[in-house]
Amino acid sequence: MLRLIHLIGVLLILQLSLNAQIVNQEFDPTRITEIPQTEVKALIKIYEETNGIRWKKNNGWMHSYTPSSWYGVAVRGGHVVELEIMSNNLSGSIPDDIKHLTQLEILYLFDNNLSGNLPAGFFELKQLSRVNFWNNKLSGSLPDKFENLENLREFVLTENNFSGQIPESITKLKKLEGLTLSQNNFSGQIPATINQNLNLKWFSLSDNDLTGPIPSTLTQVKTLRWVALANNSLSGNFPADIHLLKELTYFDISNNEIEGTIPRKITELTKLSMFNISNNRITGTIPVELRQMKSMQRLVTSGNLIQGEINLDDFPVE
């Protein structure tokens, strides 16, 4: 009896699979009217190139005639505006056809297995606002073509295999609030044009192969809250005008080759809660006034040439 039940179960599964294949064969994308056919073809190409049949979730794709019901797709005003397919076992590469999603605002494909370069078509998506490719296997260099992405507010490439220099054009985006390129293989210097990012709040380039100084222009970005430059080969002096970053809460330049002293005016940063300068070549002393900073929760200064010590227990911990 148990064997019979098992056999029936197997037959049912095979029948469901066969039915799914039949439905897929009968699917006619030209019947879709919710969005332009150019966008339909782009979505199908993305599905095919990233092995959509193996996604964890692909509800609606290649079955429904309303793309707004496809998993991860949002439609507004007759156009695809969001593509959010995270942690879904996407593999393969992003096709150049993505350029036909001309009204796309949000592109979240993080935590997948995507590989290859960012296609040229990506840089034609002028309406893009938020992009996150964290934790994939994307590689290659970034072309200096970000000027078209004038609406970009968030750009995350953490934990990929990108290399080459950081393009200057990405530092000139007026609306950019978050730039996170950590844990890649970027080399060269941090572009001095970083001060043209008038709204930048989160700036993370940790765990790359960057060299040269921390540009003095960085302290002109008054909106900065989070600066993470750890685990590179940065050199030059500690930024003397760091006190200008009044919104700064997090500052980590550990494991570099930064020299110079910590300016006393750093205590003007009343929101600073995390300050890590460990394993550099910083000299002088730690300003005593740091003990009076109510916001400070973590101060790490080991591995430098600093004179004297500060007892970490003197700092309030919330």
pLDDT in tens, 87-112: 999 999 999 999 999 999 999 999 99
CATH label of the domain that carries residue 271: 3.80.10.10
Q: Within a domain: residue 8?
A: no
Q: What is the DSSP letter of 42?
A: H
Helix (H) or strand (E) holding 26: helix 2-26
The mean pLDDT value for 221-231 works out to 98
The dihedrals phi and psi of 247, each to the nearest 5 degrees, come to -90, 0
Domain assignment present for residue 5? The answer is no
Are the CB atoms for 213 and 192 separated by under 8 Å? no
Q: What percent of the chain has pLDDT above 70?
A: 88
Q: Does 303 have pLDDT greater than 60?
A: yes
Nearest to 264 by CA among 304, 230, 302, 291: 291
CB 249 within 8 A of CB 226: yes
Contact 264, 240 (CB under 8 A): no
Report long-range pairs for 70-79 (Cβ below 8 Å, ≥24 apart).
70/43, 73/43, 74/106, 75/34, 75/35, 76/103, 77/103, 78/34, 78/35, 78/36, 79/35, 79/36, 79/39, 79/103
Strands 137-141 and 209-213: unpaired
pLDDT at 20 exceeding the cut of 50: no
Residue 208 placed within a domain:
yes
Res. 77 pLDDT band, cuts 50 70 90: very high
Q: Are 71 and 46 in contact (CB under 8 A)?
A: no
CA atoms 149, 139, 234, 304: torsion sign = positive
| 270 within some domain | yes
Task: Examine residue 77 and state whether it is found in any structural domain, yes or no.
Answer: no
* Containing structural domain, residue 199: 187-318
Task: Tell me if 139 is assigned to some domain.
Answer: no
The residue type of 311 is N
Number of domains comprising the chain:
1
- Residue 106 DSSP SS3: strand
Q: Which of 182, 178, 290 is nearest to 224 (CA)?
A: 178
The distance in angstroms from the start CA to the end CA of the chain is: 64
Within a domain: residue 44?
Answer: no
Amino acid at 89: N
pLDDT of 229 over the 50 cut: yes
Q: Which pair of structure tokens corresponds to residue 115?
A: 């590989």
Task: Tell which residue, 159, 249, 166, has the closest CA to residue 207.
Answer: 159
Give the helix/strand (H/E) hosting 115.
strand 113-116
Q: Is the residue at 96 inside a domain?
A: no
pLDDT at 302 over 80: yes
User: Is pLDDT above 50 for 256?
Assistant: yes
Q: In one letter, which amino acid is 269?
A: L
